[in-house]
Amino acid sequence: MTTETSTVRLDLPGLDDDPFDDATLANPYEFHARLRAAGPVVRLPRYDVLAMGRYTDVHAALTDWRTFVSGRGVGLSDFQHEKPWRTPSLLLEADPPDHTPVRAAMSAILSPRSVRQLRDHLQEQADLLVDALVCRGEFDAVTDLAEVFPLQVFPDAVGVRAEGRENLLPYGAMAFNAFGPRNDRVTRALETAEPIQAWISESCERANLSATGFGAQIWAAADRGEITHAQAPMLVRSLLTAGVDTTVFGIGNALHALAAHPAQWSILHERPNLAKFAFDEALRFESPVQTFFRTTAADTEFAGHRIAEGQKVLLFLGSGNRDERHWGDRSEEFDIQRAASGHVAFGMGIHQCVGQPIARLEAETILTALARRVRRIEPTAAAVPRLNNTLKGWASIPVRVHPV
């Protein structure tokens, strides 16, 4: 049979857009719609990469780790040809078999069971913070809340020393910017990178971690031989890279969506135990991690197209999460009562976010605290976007809250 090869379309559709320019980062959704309409695989000649924006294709590429590998970097830069800006992550920028034991050790440390033990403490902290903000009445949902809560609870859970924690947000911003092209955002961030990188690297050493946190548990896994002692500080670094900005943006985006949709807030206020569903819907509706790349390890056929080996493929998670083919004709609406599970905001497959349990716990506890105390939340001025080559979120969301 020759039907299989005869259906291969040789010329891929192309789009001239720059997905990393300021306007597209601030509002990517119109571009996403054109990307999905153009086809399952689309050329972006500006960066000489391929792109996928439909749910099914993003999902399939994420799941097929043999073809779409991570070991050559999940940014625009191909580690096979360019030196990475930092030592590659043992989790993110690795493939099986190297990836497998490392992932297993981290999954055990960050398991739902282990994270559940933090719930009461996080709920207490969330309640205290929200009590103070509700008293004020008006505050900034980013700088007074979304940036405050994760920075209060996550470094404590890891066991990071107190001094220098102000480095965590800039370090994350730098790491997530660095997955994109070397534009001004990256150049500026890398100029001030050295002292921040030094602080991060020292913070990963056993002597600088508390005796009980996730950091100490990573070192204990090395003692047990699950990972090596050389790998331990690198895995603490993974927590510090991927665990702060992502949750700050995720909580900020959830608050932005809820403040912009008063009827949705009312539903959450009436039933605060919907907080976890509201967070999933917020992740789908405005995904904090918008994009990352894979690299093809071999010539392959995908959705009727031939893709050559060594191609960078940009996966638009935030677009797949709004694909009308998968989510229906209300895919661009924010609805906390929809079935949002199955979204790809945490990725999919063997690399799916290993920190998901702690990220979800942070979001659920803070949204629950707010939902219980606030009957109405309204914007008092326009929100200000925070531009990043990978993350979508807000620098400022001024709000007023009406307590019960």
Distance of closest approach, residue 241 Cβ to ligand PQS, in angstroms:
4
Task: Spell out, one character per residue from 88 to 127, where the chain touches ligand PQS: x when CB under 6 A holds, - when not.
Answer: -x-xx-----------------------------------
Under the criterion CB under 6 A, does residue 238 sit at the interface with ligand PQS? yes
State the chain's maximal CA–CA distance in angstroms: 72
Cβ-Cβ contacts under 8 Å for 327 (sequence gap 6 or more): 55, 284, 321, 338
- The interaxial angle of helices 168-177 and 232-242, nearest 10 deg, is 90
Q: Is 367 in the site for ligand PQS (CB under 6 A)?
A: no
**Residue closer to ligand PQS (CB basis): 213 or 250:** 250
Binding mask 50-89 vs ligand PQS (x if CB under 6 A, - otherwise)? ------------------------x--------------x
Which tokens hold the place of 305? 């197209």
Q: Given candidates 153, 196, 255, 289, which one binds ligand PQS under the rule CB under 6 A?
A: 289
Q: Report the 10 Å Cβ neighbour count for 29.
A: 12
The one segment of 41-49, 215-223, 237-245, 324-332 that binds ligand PQS by CB under 6 A: 237-245
Is 241 a residue that touches ligand PQS (CB under 6 A)? yes
For the segment 205-234, give every residue that binds ligand PQS (CB under 6 A).
Answer: none
Contact 180, 20 (CB under 8 A): yes
Name the residue with the smallest CB distance to ligand PQS.
Answer: 238
CB of 122 to ligand PQS, least distance (A): 21
| Residue bearing tokens 């004709």 | 329
Query: Least separation, in Å, of the C-beta of 243 and ligand PQS?
Result: 9
Q: Which is nearer to ligand PQS, 185 or 305 (CB)?
A: 185
Residue 130 in contact with ligand PQS, rule: CB under 6 A: no
To ligand PQS, the closest distance from the beta carbon of 46 in angstroms equals 21
Q: Which residues bind ligand PQS (CB under 6 A)?
A: 74, 89, 91-92, 175, 237-238, 241-242, 289, 292, 390
